[in-house]
Every structure is written in structure tokens, then in C-alpha cells.
Homo-oligomer: A and B are copies of this chain.
Amino acid sequence: MIGPEIERLIQLLGRLPGLGPRSARRVALHLLKKREVLMQPLSAALADAARAIRTCSTCGNLDTTDPCSICADPRRDSGLLCVVEDIGDLWAMERGKIFPGLYHVLGGTLSALDGIGPDELNVGGLLRRVQAGSVREVIVATNATVDGQTTAHYLAERLAGCAVPVTRLAHGVPVGGELDWLDDGTLATALKARRAL
């Protein structure tokens, strides 16, 4: 006896990552109670974004323009190219405001298990950008997972012929991290990569 409009809303909300049927109902009820202040603005924001956002044909970022505002920014150092797995990783780098260069979004990692090979990733685009000549360094910032590391090694191999240095992010103890809570692998890597104080 729940109306079809509410059922449909719950069903769509249940398809969002991290929301099961139970939390979808909870979110739907919250939205229905705040129709004016939250539900209508969210509907409009979704429609606006769905209409306006496109994928940058250069780097794979999502923005209202193509090329995206990062690729089009003349203040950015186009000689530095940071390769990330996903747009979420690009957002993480941008939140830190630590990287002055450009990005390249692969769209995932190589994964034999999931049947994802180089053709499913934006590797061809990366090679073309590096071969175009203005890139001085490629920083591979894939995740420190097995798939991420495999992908990093694969990219290093593919880029070996381009005469451009390929680097990766350092491994070690997270800033603020306690040794007692660290896994053995990180600790061993941090020890091996120790530096002069």
C-alpha cells in the first residue's frame, strides 16, 4: 500500500552505492518529509548535472566543458602528468591542492579476474599524450592495491620507449599514523625506503 511514486523512488535510491533497501527507504522518507528544502533542490541539482556534465576527451575528468577546466587551465604545468585510476582519485588529489600538473584518468585497473585488459582502460590516450612531446614526467598514482600496482608496472613498461621518466607515489607510514596499527607490508616498505633525518 505504498504508492508507486514512492516505490519507484525507493527502488532507484537502492541502486546507489552503499544504500541497501533499508537505507533507501530511510533516505526516501527523509526526502519526502523535506520536499521543499531538500527533495526539489536535489532533483534540480541532479537534472542540472546530468545535462551539463560531460567527460573530458583529453583526460577523462568530468566537467561542464571539454576540455575540462583543469586541462584548459594555462596556469597548470602541462609537463607533469598524473595518472589516476578513477575520477574519485583525481578529486582526492585536487582536494589536497598539492599537484600543479594535469591528470589522466584510466577508468579502472587491469584485472584478470574481472576481464579488464588494456583496451578497456584509457591507455591509448595516455600514450598519445606522452608521445605528443610536452610531458616531462609521468607520475603513476594508481592505488597501492595488487591491481593498482600491476597496472602501474604495465604502464611503466608501455611508457619505457617514450624517454620520459615514469615515477610513482612513495609508500610508507601515513602522516599521523601509529606503527602499532600499521600492516607488516607497509612497515617493511617504510623501513626499506628509510631516509636520512
Residues of A within 8 A of B (CB): 1-3, 5-6, 8-9, 12-13, 15-19, 23, 25-27, 29-32, 35-36, 38-50, 52-53, 62-64, 69-70, 73, 86-88, 91, 94
Contact = CB atoms under 8 A, between A and B. Distances in A.
A38 B53 contact: no
A39 B50 contact: yes
Q: Which of A23, A39, A41, A45 has the most CB of B within 10 A?
A: A45
Contact of A23 (B18, B43, B50): B18
A16 to B, nearest CB: 5
B70 A1 contact: yes
A78 to B, nearest CB: 15
Contacts of A42: 9, 12-13, 46
Q: Is the interface of A mostly helix, strand, loop or mixed?
A: helix
Nearest to A32: B62
Contact of A31 (B1, B16, B86): B16
A170 to B, nearest CB: 24
Given A1-B69, A62-B32, A69-B1, A6 B40 contact: no
B5 A53 contact: yes
Contacts of A1: 69-70, 73, 94
Given A12-B38, A35-B53, A43-B44, 6 more contacts: A5-B52, A16-B38, A17-B26, A18-B26, A32-B49, A44-B47
B3 A88 contact: no
Given A1-B70, A26-B17, A49 B12 contact: no
28 contacts: A1-B70, A1-B94, A2-B91, A5-B45, A5-B48, A6-B62, A9-B42, A12-B42, A12-B45, A13-B42, A16-B27, A16-B31, A17-B23, A17-B30, A19-B27, A25-B88, A31-B50, A32-B87, A35-B50, A36-B50, A39-B49, A42-B46, A43-B43, A43-B44, A43-B46, A43-B47, A43-B50, A44-B47
